[in-house]
Each structure stands twice: as C-alpha cells, then as structure tokens.
Amino acid sequence: MDRWSAFFELVETRRSIRRFEDKEVEEEKIRKILEALRLAPSSSNSQPWHVVVVRDKEVISALSKAAPVGSRFVISWMSGAPLVFVLTVRRKLTHRVARAFGHANLWLDAGIAGEHLVLAAQALGFGTCWIGWFSERKVRKLVGLTKAHEVVALIPCGYPAEEPEPRPRKSLEEIFSVERFGGSGGMDEIS
Ligand SMILES: Cc1cc2nc3c(=O)[nH]c(=O)nc-3n(C[C@H](O)[C@H](O)[C@H](O)COP(=O)(O)O)c2cc1C
C-alpha cells in the first residue's frame, strides 16, 4: 500500500452507521479520536470547538429523544450508541468579523473538525453518523452548555453492527468545472 492509499480506503469505506454493538469505546481510543479533532485547521487558528463526550446511557437515551417535535424517528436509533460526541463551538471575535463580510467560518471550522473526528473514529474501527436533526434547546440542557456555546452536531460512535451499502453520489463530472463555472477546460479529454 503506498503512502496515501490508507486515506482513500478510509473515505471510500466510510458509511453513516446507525446500529452499534453493545461494547464500549475504549478510553484511549476516545482520546485518539479527540486528538485528531484537536489538530484540525481553523480560521485564524481560532479552534472554537469543545466536545462533550457522553457515555451515560440515560443521557444518551434522552439525547435520542431530543428531536424537534413530531420527528423523533429521525434520531431515535441513537439510543443504541455506546457513546455520543456532542460537538459545540464558541464564536470568537474573528468569526464575528468574518461573518460581517459574509463568511460562515465558524461553521466551516466546526465541519472540518467534526470530519477529522469522524475519519479518526473510522480509522480505529468505529462507525459514526453526523446528526444535524436535534432540538438545540433540549441538547443544551442535557449537557449543561454555557450560553456562549452552540451545538453543531451530535456524533454517535461505536463498533458497527451493520454494513450499509454506499449511498448514491453525484458523478465526478457533475461536481466540478475548470476555469469557469460549467467549463471542462479539456479535462474530459484526458480521462
Ligand atoms: C451535517 C449532517 C447532518 C446529518 N443529520 C442526520 C440526522 O439527523 N439523522 C440521520 O440519520 N443521518 C444524518 N446524517 C447522515 C446523512 O444522511 C448521510 O451522511 C448521507 O445520507 C450519506 O450517507 P453516508 O454517510 O453513509 O455516505 C447527516 C449527515 C450530515 C453530514
């Protein structure tokens, strides 16, 4: 395997995992996953993130019910996860300035960091799933967030108990152009 193949294998085999084995996530592996998040790049090196690691079964069960009214089924499966990372951010001055110029850097920072966590978990043999469908108010209360922090996502994590088929993706041609929007720049002739 050449130096970078492991990365491509990682992204090609990652799936959203919604069923987990009844087995806990070892503490040193939790630390390794968080270490990958710690190393993520961020705008002005602001590192606005804070992750709450939830292993308490009762809190996980409550989180799995913390969906907006009438849509519990979207995240109810999360009750079977042995661990949930609650990814939060705290807006810094640089984010306020960037936002004034139309840049959503806070959410970019959070997304990059979250995906570092997801891929690190995958590299260590765990399955995860990004959860964006939750009631901010309910989650804040359950994990005791300060007013300054916002919840970005819940990321349940555990040893996978399913092997889902890949979800469909757009073709490569549909997601890029060359030099100008819609232009091929002759790249289609190369492949
Ligand atoms: C920001 C974000 C929010 C998501 N929210 C949810 C969610 O609330 N519930 C859920 O079951 N899956 C959620 N997903 C998982 C997506 O449905 C999944 O990534 C997508 O269908 C592609 O499948 P794959 O991850 O297996 O490749 C979310 C994914 C992302 C990136």
- Residue whose CA lies nearest to ligand 1 atom number 22: 167
Tell me if 16 CB under 6 Å of ligand 1: yes
**Distance from CA of residue 99 to its chain's centroid?**
22
- The yes-or-no verdict on residue 188 having pLDDT over 70 is no
Domain assignments of the chain as residue spans, ordered by start? 16-166
16 CA from centroid of ligand 1 (Å):
6
In the chain, the DSSP E strands lie at 49-54, 83-90, 127-128, 149-158
Q: Which CATH superfamily is domain 16-166 in?
A: NADH Oxidase (3.40.109.10)
- Tens of pLDDT, residue by residue over 132-171, are 999 999 999 999 999 999 999 999 999 999 999 999 999 9
- Tens of pLDDT, residue by residue over 104-134, are 999 999 999 999 999 999 999 999 999 999 9
- Residue whose CA lies nearest to ligand 1 atom number 10: 131
pTM of the model: 0.95
